[in-house]
Structure 1
Amino acid sequence: MNTTLSPSPETVASSRRAAFRPVLLLSWAFVAVSAAMIAFLGVASATGIGFETAIWIRCSLVLASAVVVLAIAASAARGSRGAWVRLRIISPIIVAAVVVIVSIPGFLPDWVRLEQALCGLLLLPVAILVNLPRMRALFAPKA
């Protein structure tokens, strides 16, 4: 009789939580930077400084994407294979979108481009980490 020892569900869950710790930390940082930018825009606007609509829209979209990434990452950290797959797809797409937006000359002021680039840099390791083979092993289909 050939028996293979497979890790217990508790061991897999613990490993998954440990593997997702940096992903969740980076996702929270992405949300924090994006929220700080919206807060800055709001405070500055309240003091009479006007901003172009494109800045408000872009920063709002980045904040919304940060919240979505965080929600998906949290679900994946709890063991949702579907959330992990979504995170594997969406995080590189968001990074690519940030690169494109930041590289368009004159579209956004430099200070907004820097904030957007920082958000992309926070999400880049997430896109890498969730696509590593060791992460894939944590979501292997059950035989």
Structure 2
Amino acid sequence: MNARSPRPAAVPAEALRHPRSLKAFRGMKLLVGGYVALSVLTLVAIYLLRGDAAVVNDAVWVRAGIVAVSALLTYTFTVRAARGSRGAYRRLRIVATLMAAAIALVIAVPGPFPVWLKVEQGVCGLALLGVIAVANGSHLRALFAAR
């Protein structure tokens, strides 16, 4: 027998239209939008510089691809959370935190990543720290608390 617990209801629309909610989601969408834009521009730069092995190596390709995909997922989660999805809100918090931690490791640990990529990752990490701060703020945590 498969006894699944019922899915929690979506956040009420009036709570999502509260000025603090609107401000929080607007800020997160801007931060994550910047993260997406920078990630895509980085992939374009990597493609254009692909002939220079000192600037672009296999590790750069892999890392930039992972970051671009996670940025797109993060944006999707942000949009869905703004519509009231508790699951998307939870995923947003998890992915933003994991990617920020991974970025910190890329920057801190010596390895195959060139300085320019570490700088780009630092900017992405700052955007994610902003998302983490807003998403874990008291207003949104109360808004998405299970009822």
TM-score range (shorter-chain normalised) is 0.7 to 0.9
Structure whose alpha-carbon radius of gyration is higher: 1
Q: Which amino acid aligns with 1:73?
A: T
Deviations 1:77-132 (A, max 9, x none): 11101111111222111101100111111331101110111111111110111011
- Counterpart CA distance in 2 for 1:107 and 1:49 is 14
Identity score, percent:
36
Q: Is residue 12 from structure 1 mapped to residue 5 from structure 2 by the alignment?
A: no
SS of 1:18 mapped into structure 2: helix
- Per mean C-alpha deviation after superposition, the further-off stretch among 121-130 and 100-109 is 100-109
- Counterpart CA distance in 1 for 2:111 and 2:101 is 19
- Counterpart CA distance in 2 for 1:44 and 1:53 is 12
The corresponding residue for 1:49 is 52
- Counterpart CA distance in 1 for 2:136 and 2:57 is 37
Q: Is residue 114 from structure 1 mapped to residue 119 from structure 2 by the alignment?
A: yes
CA contact (8 A) 2:13 2:84 kept: no
TM-score (normalised: structure 1): 0.85
Q: Indicate which of 72, 87, 98 corresponds to 1:93.
A: 98
- Counterpart CA distance in 1 for 2:146 and 2:59 is 43
Gaps of 5+ in 2: 1-11
Q: Which amino acid aligns with 2:96?
A: S
- Counterpart CA distance in 2 for 1:86 and 1:56 is 25
CA RMSD, aligned part only?
1.4
The corresponding residue for 1:30 is 35
Deviation above 4 Å: which 4+ runs of structure 1? none
- Counterpart CA distance in 2 for 1:94 and 1:29 is 15
Gaps of 5+ in 1: 1-8
